[in-house]
Amino acid sequence: MLIDLHAHTAPRSNCSRTTLDELVASARRRGLDALCITEHDVRWPDDELADASRTLGFPLIPGVELSTDIGHVLVFGPLERPLWSGYTFEQLVEETERSGTALVLPHPVRRVAGERARRAGRVPPTPAEVAAWPQWSAVHAIEAASTQTIAAEHELTAAALAVAPRPRVGASDAHGPDLAGRFCTRLSVDVRDASGLATEIRAGHTDAVRLDPD
Ligand SMILES: [Zn+2]
Ligand SMILES: [Zn+2]
């Protein structure tokens, strides 16, 4: 199945300019089988997302994009602490090693090779330096590409993955209409909920797919 693991709706993510209806229309048009909604530091109530999924006739799986001390981390599955209390990356890894929840590192090199870093004239780290970051091996998969990352980030991420291979996912990180599904993830089995998805991600059964060229 094809699934987009990373998308934001307004107003739950105040950086987003798109609605759930538009995200689903875009994902459906590109032939996806499911879409994860991953707002910043807040989750959709399970029953509300399930209702929306029924109304729209499209599988929607809840996740969350947590802000931690090392940057954003995508989380699929339950968390023990309330989200408002926050997590350090170390706390997140310690808890999810026990709980079976899956962690994905989105836009992994944004801070060092993204648009802002490039404009500031920052010299990016080497692929080996990126691959040596603790978060590189502590998460279950790396987001290889999205609509929110630039070519220099995709290239550095791919080079670091060649140095230290990890399971990879693609995801739109959609913040606007017509973006959902442009990058997505292929899973070898059908999943219908966050726990099934977490199991597949933790098993490394993911592959990054790009459906549309720029
Ligand atoms: Zn992010
Ligand atoms: Zn995001």
- Domain ranges in the chain are 2-210
Tell me how far apart the alpha carbons of residues 72 and 107 are, in angstroms, rounded to a whole number.
8
CA-wise closest residue to 35 among 55, 15, 14, 8: 8
For residue 147, the ligand closest to its alpha carbon is 2
Q: Cα 84 to chain center, whole Å?
A: 20
Question: pTM score > 0.95 for this model?
Answer: yes
Separation of CA 174 and ligand 1 centre (Å) = 10
Residues of the chain with pLDDT under 70: 213-214
One-letter-per-residue 3-state SS of 18-47? CCHHHHHHHHHHCCCCEEEEEEECCCCCHH
For residue 175, the ligand closest to its alpha carbon is 2
pLDDT, residue 114, reads 95
Instruction: Determine how many CB atoms are found less than 10 A away from the CB of residue 11.
Output: 8
> Where does 100-133 have alpha helices with state H?
110-113, 115-119, 127-131
Q: What is the pLDDT of residues 53-85, one digit of tens each?
A: 999 999 999 999 999 999 999 999 999 999 999
Separation of CA 179 and ligand 2 centre (Å) = 12
Separation of CA 74 and ligand 1 centre (Å) = 8
pLDDT, residue 213, reads 59
Separation of CA 65 and ligand 1 centre (Å) = 7
Separation of CA 38 and ligand 2 centre (Å) = 7
pLDDT, residue 211, reads 86
Q: Are strands 102-105 and 141-145 parallel, antiparallel or unpaired?
A: parallel
For residue 64, the ligand closest to its alpha carbon is 2
Q: Which residues contact 40 (CB under 8 A, 6 or more apart)?
A: 8, 13, 15, 65, 67, 72
pLDDT, residue 73, reads 98
Tell me how far apart the alpha carbons of residues 81 and 93 are, in angstroms, rounded to a whole number.
13
Residues with CB under 5 A from ligand 2 (ion): 65, 173
Q: Which CATH superfamily is domain 2-210 in?
A: Metal-dependent hydrolases (3.20.20.140)
Separation of CA 169 and ligand 1 centre (Å) = 14
